[in-house]
Structure 1
Amino acid sequence: MNRKVVVYGLLSVLCIPFVFPTWWMVTSSFKPTSEIFAYPPKLLPSHWQFGAYREVFELQPFAQQYWNSLYIAAIVTVGTMAVASLSGWAFARIRFPGQNVLFVVVLTGLLIPSEVTIVPLFQLFNRAGLIDTHWPLILVPILGAPSVLATFIMRQYFVTLPKELEEAARVDGLGRFATFWRIGLPLARPALGAVGIFTFLSSWNLFLEPVVYLSTKERFTLPQALTQYVDAYGGPMWDVQLAAASLTALPVLVVFVIAQRQFVEGLAHTGLKG
């Protein structure tokens, strides 16, 4: 019992550096500006103020921007999970000439920074008439380098599945896709959970690409929208920015709480085997 108390006490102390910034962000959104940077910092506001949350929606179309980020992240997450699971199954369970070489070529996508490809991609989407639309923010993560990590995770998970499952499926008359759909995919829920969280978080926090592709406020996503809360002199409106940031963090917390078990199991399986 005493050992548990010591362990929990130590863990509580160690989590302070991670929890305090979030606590400060949320509580400071209810403080007046003069109190936000008070030293020593106050854990709770002296006088709770809710005006910053009202201004978040009054100063720009924050509700529309929130919806933009939500539906883009949802589409990108589902699309990446579909593409990564299919390609991961192919690399793990189907033997074909040049398989390993092709997989290494795919993995090189992890070594290419997005800043390197942003200019040619902009020219490509500009010629297609897709600038100032959400299509670049959907297509690039699903079909481009950002999905490489997801493919790697899914491939590593599918490699761990015993061959007997696939052989039994063939005896029952299932083809390759049916084997993947009925056997491989249901067993890959932990890996899919890890991929889902990674992908949702990446899309939700995407900043460079929206700045490059979008110019209309109604089409902005949240990371880009957070930079727009400034006063007449170009200075940051701290209370409003913190209120908007607090609202922005909610979906990420919800997604992680729902899928945290699959996230941990997926990382464990893909990291220890394959």
Structure 2
Amino acid sequence: MKTEFSPRAKVAIYGLLCVLAIPFVFPTWWMVTSSVKPIDQIFAFPPDLIPRSYDFSTYAQVFKLQPFAQQYWNSAYIAAIVTIGTMIVSSMAGYAFARIKFPGANLIFMVVLLGLLIPSEVTIVPLFQMFLKWGMINTHWPLILVPIFGAPSVFATFVMRQFFISLPGELEEAARVDGLGRFKIFWTIALPLARPALAAVAIFTFLHSWNLYLEPIVFLTSPERFTLPQALTQYVDVYQGPMWNIQLAAATLTAIPVLIVFIFAQRQFIEGLAHTGLKG
């Protein structure tokens, strides 16, 4: 039964939501406005919500001091490959654990889930030694392979498994009657129905890859190969002090794809988790 609120109640609810949103919106607003302030105004107290003067040259300095355009491209294409790869691996693994009966399936799935309990800091040294032997240090391969076959993919596999478990078994039985094999059933029936779950997997995988910090600082050494989180730490003066206005300008440019994904895909993300039984 749908509850109807009076106009006054709606105004009160929206007003309360606006107040509660301030702690979340203010840091982003401060970052954007501070990126065009002189340094002496950035930490003024009380903070200026609207800059008293504007200096847009900081955005030009972002690209002059570092190969920021190349670093932006690095993050973009790595995130795209990781997202696509994780969707492929997790959807196939999730379908196998959910719909294919084989000995030890539940035990193997529990072992896979243990990957979520191991912090990335624990495995970073063995991974470094492994990629060093393979000659992949200072390349983007570790940043692609580790997320696709690591903890992000494990969580994505769990999400996809939960969705495929909820599919009616009659769909597969009807498909077998029509002569479809296992892969054909997965590709033509199960996968198209899994679009909400795939959308959720794509969103959190992209955001995880875009914000990845530990692995880049371990595996990358050349500025032209840096990704954005690592690049943001490189805007320092001759005394190794942070150049705050330039850092904030670079951070603002870095946050644009994240804000776009959040604005346009938040509904798909919520619906995807709802279809997998992970509603909060």
> Common fold, TM-score beyond 0.5?
yes
Between the aligned partners of 1:190 and 1:20, the Cα distance in structure 2 is: 31
Aligned with residue 47 of structure 1, among 43, 48, 53: 53
Contact 1:190 1:263 in 2 (8 A): yes
- Superposition TM-score, scaled by structure 1 size: 0.97
Q: Following the alignment from structure 1 to structure 2, what is the Cα–Cα distance between the partners of residues 82 and 73?
A: 14
Higher mean C-alpha deviation, range 137-146 or range 127-136: 137-146
Once the two structures are TM-superposed, the CA of residue 122 in structure 1 deviates from its matched residue by 0.7
Cα distance, 1:268 vs structure 2: 1.3
Q: Which amino acid aligns with 1:207?
A: Y
Spell out the pairing of 1:170-181 with structure 2 (5 A cutoff).
170-181=176-187
Three-state SS of the structure 2 residue aligned to 1:186 is: helix
| Runs of at least 5 residues in structure 1 that lack an aligned partner in the other structure | none
Match of 1:234 in 2: 240
Task: State the alpha-carbon separation in 1 of the partners of residues 65 and 15 from structure 2.
Answer: 44
> Which is further off, 234-243 or 251-260?
251-260
* Residue of structure 1 equivalent to 2:19: 13
Runs of 4+ in 1 over 4 A off after TM superposition: none
1:168 and 2:149 equivalent?
Answer: no
- Percentage of pairs with the same residue: 74
Unmatched segments (≥5 aa) in structure 2:
1-6
Q: Name 2:62's counterpart in structure 1.
A: 56
Distance 1:37 1:176 in 2: 61
CA-based RMSD of the aligned residues comes to 1.1
1:23 corresponds to which of 11, 24, 29: 29
Aligned residue runs from structure 1 range 113-124, under 5 A = 113-124=119-130
- 2: CA distance, partners of 1:258 / 1:176: 34
- 1:49 CA drift (Å): 1.1
- Of residues 189, 197, 204, the one that matches 1:183 is 189
Deviation at 1:188, TM superposition (A): 1.0
Equivalent residue for 2:8?
2
Verify the 8 A CA contact 1:192 1:262 in the aligned structure 2.
no
Cα offset, 1:144, TM superposition: 2.1
TM-score by length of 2: 0.95
1:36 shift after superposition: 0.6
In the aligned structure 2, how far is the partner of 1:173 from the partner of 1:4? Answer: 55
Matches of 1:227 and 1:139, distance apart in 2: 24
Structure-2 separation of matches of 1:253 and 1:183: 33
Preserved CA contact (<8 Å) 1:26 1:246: yes
Tell me whether 1:101 sits opposite 2:78 in the alignment. no
| CA shift for structure 1 position 54 | 0.6
How far is 1:259 from its partner?
2.2
Cα gap change, 1:47 to 1:79, in 2 (>3 Å): same
Work out the number of aligned pairs and report it: 273
Residues 76-95 of structure 1: pairs in structure 2 closer than 5 A: 76-95=82-101
CA–CA distance in structure 2, aligned partners of residues 33 and 77 of structure 1: 38
1:17-64 alpha-carbon deviations (Å, 9 max, x no partner)? 001100100111011111111111111111111011010000010000
Q: 2: distance between equivalents of 1:29 and 1:258?
A: 25
C-alpha distance in structure 2 between counterparts of 1:90 and 1:231, whole Å: 53
Amino acid across the alignment from 1:140:
V
Q: What is the alpha-carbon distance in structure 2 between the residues aligned to residue 146 and residue 159 of structure 1?
A: 20
Deviation at 1:267, TM superposition (A): 1.2
